[in-house]
Amino acid sequence: MVDMTKLGDDAIAAKGWFKSHKFLILRRLSQLGILALFLTGPWFGIWIVKGNLASSLTLDFLPLTDPYVLLQAMLSGVVPETAAIIGVVIVLAFYFLVGGRVYCSWVCPVNMVTDLAAWLRRKLGIRTTSQISRSTRYWMLVLTLILPLVVAGGIIWELVNPVSMMFRGIVFGMGAAWIMVLGIFLFDLIVAKDGWCGHICPVGAFYNLLGSKSLLKVNAVQRQACNDCMECYVICPEPQVIKPALQGEKKGLSPVILSSDCTNCGRCIDICAKDVFSYGGRHAKKIDEYKREVEVNRGVRA
Amino acid sequence: MSETERKNEINRRQFLGNMLKTACGVGLVGLGLGAYSKRASSLPADYIRPPGALPEEDFLGACIRCGLCVRDCPYDILFLGEVGDKVATGTPYFVARTGPCEMCEDIPCVVACPTNALDHDLKDIEESRMGLAVLIDQENCIAFHGLRCEVCFNVCPIRNRAITLDMQHNVRSGKHALFIPVVHSDACTGCGLCERACILEEAAIKVFPMHLAKGELGKHYRLGWKEKEKAGKSLVTPDTEHRYNLPEGVRYDLQGEGLIIEGEAEETPFSSNPLDTLNSGFMDK
């Protein structure tokens, strides 16, 4: 059992505080930086990015459009403008390469709320579990895509979607949307670990599918060095993705975390005192294979 | 049944059970969302959509709530609906009384829209129909009290077409005119400049979304004289000259002062001019 009060202490001792929080800091900078780009306009009159995550225009030149919301609009019968089509192609290509759920861990503002809830759970030792299945999000995704087809009144998910609601709220005005955000925080804190992002959110499910063949992956490249401290399982928002890569050596499984549930957040890289994990390509060679090759080559030379 | 078979059976049962539970839960969420959307998708009277907005139902399917129209409005009149507002969350609107549409010629809000929720076919702002101005309170509009105002008429950008002044007799003073503003739906864009300009504490002229402002004739209804004009002839029984059903020797002629009894003039000893009777005494002398 991992001692929650000492979670991450090994890594700090081995690598220092900054190196053991590197990707966490970078992710927060990314999430807040994206918000800042949208906010310099309304706050200071310096227009860098206009709009919000649904659709935006950067420096009056680069259009970006969220494929999930556009898909819902198209299902309710919309033919998008050229700018939206260009924007959606760019976004699709980006997440297709870097991993769909990079959206969840590096862009989505709700992630900061649910991470906070998860951190508090660990601090307060809340261990509640719920019966909600991780596949619920796919059912939700199907539901949100069927609703525009069968119910008049358009993109119904966007009436309540907390992801777009929170981002739009910060940029355009929150109204009572903070209740929604608070609701998710309390749900994740009290009802279920990673309840929203890991189980229910259809936005994450969409990006999950989008990045199912993505190139950028976390790789348990030094898995021989693992000392079974289990801290990566505790810190990971989708811990089921780790096991095949970290402990699959005997079964001949790749050390690359192949599951598209992985959000590429890099917390496992940060928290590992033994530096087992690192970012790498999807088709990165197993380090053991690589070592063997080197040895073989040496043998040939000698 | 072997041990592994029983285990598989239990696993399968568990799997199906869990799946059913999830599906039911999500189905309930769907029902809730569907019901909520019905409530949330009604457009309230004081929320006016930007120019070129599709009919409300289509608009809610097309608008992705990005706010680019809000950003590109040079007068900053547009807002996105917030949670708790009466309008669908995240959709753009303006409030005519506080910030009406200034009717930019290049319609930047429409150009900014990435999904055609604001119809890109709208090129001429005068063709837009954001809503319709309605002179809703004739009791408080001071024009009806015979006071000269005409502010709505004067600020209207579709001058003398969307709002005209109808001059009527002022019965109260007996010698003045009333200058009554009249809105014409074939020209009014619903920009709301008149509503903002109305000098009353609460505007007497207001812009409403089209579906609230307009009546609609029954689909089966035909206006006879228009049909006649269209067809070039009457569509029902052809017109016959009207004849009054009067006794013999009596006819009706409006200009000839109404009922006329034929031959009456010869028979009566009295003149039809009453002055002749009054003057008769003098004439005898």
Distance to chain B for A54, nearest Cα, Å: 5
Write out chain A residues lying below 8 Å of B54, CB-based. Answer: none
Residues of B in contact with A65 (CB under 8 A): 64, 66, 114
Question: Above pLDDT 70, what percent of chain B?
Answer: 89
- The pLDDT of residue B200 is 92
Calculate the CA dihedral of residues A45, A49, A54, A55 and round it to 10 degrees: 110
Residue A153 contacts B where some CB pair is shorter than 8 Å: yes
Please name the residues between 121 and 150 in chain A that touch chain B, using a CB distance below 8 Å: 131-133, 135-136, 139-140, 142-143, 146-148
Which residue of A158, A191, A199 is the best one to mutate when testing the B interface, meaning the one whose CB has the most B CBs within 10 A? Answer: A158
- Closest CA–CA distance from residue A280 to any residue of chain B (Å): 34
Q: Which among A76, A133, A143 has the least Cβ separation from residue B30? A: A143
Among B83, B112, B42, smallest CA distance to A172 is for B83
**Residue pair A112/A105 in contact by the 8 Å Cβ criterion:** no
pLDDT less than 70: residues of chain A: 1, 152-153, 284-302
Residue tagged 């289509």 (tokens): B58
Instruction: Assess: ipTM above 0.85.
Output: no
Whether chain B has a CB inside 8 Å of the CB on A171: the answer is yes
| Helix H or strand E segment including A50 | strand A49-52
- Chain B residues 90-129 with CB within 8 Å of chain A: 90, 112-117, 120
Least confident range of B18-27, B100-109, B133-142: B18-27
pLDDT score, position A111: 92
Residue A296 CB contacts under 8 Å (≥ 6 apart), including other chains: none
Residue-wise pLDDT for A60-98, tens only, equals: 888 888 889 888 888 887 887 788 888 889 988 988 888
Helix or strand or coil: residue B163? strand
Q: Shortest CA distance to A101 belongs to which of A58, A68, A128?
A: A68
Using the structure block, give the residue that is written with the tokens 């994206």.
A34
Both tokens of A16, joined, read 């220092």
pLDDT at position B204: 92
> Tell me: the pLDDT tens digits for A199-243?
889 999 999 898 888 888 888 888 878 888 888 888 888 888 888
List all residues 6 or more positions away from B240 whose beta carbon is below 8 Å from its beta carbon.
none
The model's pLDDT over B255-276, given as tens digits with 9 standing for 90+, comes to: 877 888 876 555 566 677 777 7
